[in-house]
Amino acid sequence: MIKLELTDEEATTILIALDNYRDQMETDFMRHPTNVESQQEAGSAEWCWQKLFGAQQQFRNSIADAVGEGEQRTNETSEKVDPFDFKGLEY
């Protein structure tokens, strides 16, 4: 097993490069359908992209969880105010 440590920006740069490489290999395969190697390279680039993208999303979600993003906070003011309580109102 190989363990790589990348910043989010580095991972994004690699994802873009993999996406461009995959597109290039798919285009090459469409121009030369007998070039099976281009098709295999495109598939490998897609596989790597999926792995890295999944790891990046997992990392981003763990950061969001750590800072409490996505948690619904209660609105204490609205919970304590009864909109139908007319006590104290002057007419």
User: How is residue 51 written in tokens?
Assistant: 């792995």
| Angular region, 68: left φ>0, alpha ψ -120 to 50, beta rest | left
SS3 state of residue 49: helix
User: How is residue 34 written in tokens?
Assistant: 């007998």
Burial 38-51 (b: 16+ CB within 10 A, else e): bbebbeebbebbee
Query: What was the pLDDT predicted at 74?
Result: 56
Query: What was the pLDDT predicted at 40?
Result: 97
Q: Where are the domains of the chain?
A: 8-64
Query: What was the pLDDT predicted at 34?
Result: 94
State which residues of the chain have pLDDT below 50: 91
Query: What was the pLDDT predicted at 87?
Result: 57
Neighbours of 55 (CB within 10 A): 13
Using an 8 Å Cβ cutoff, are 65 and 59 in contact? no
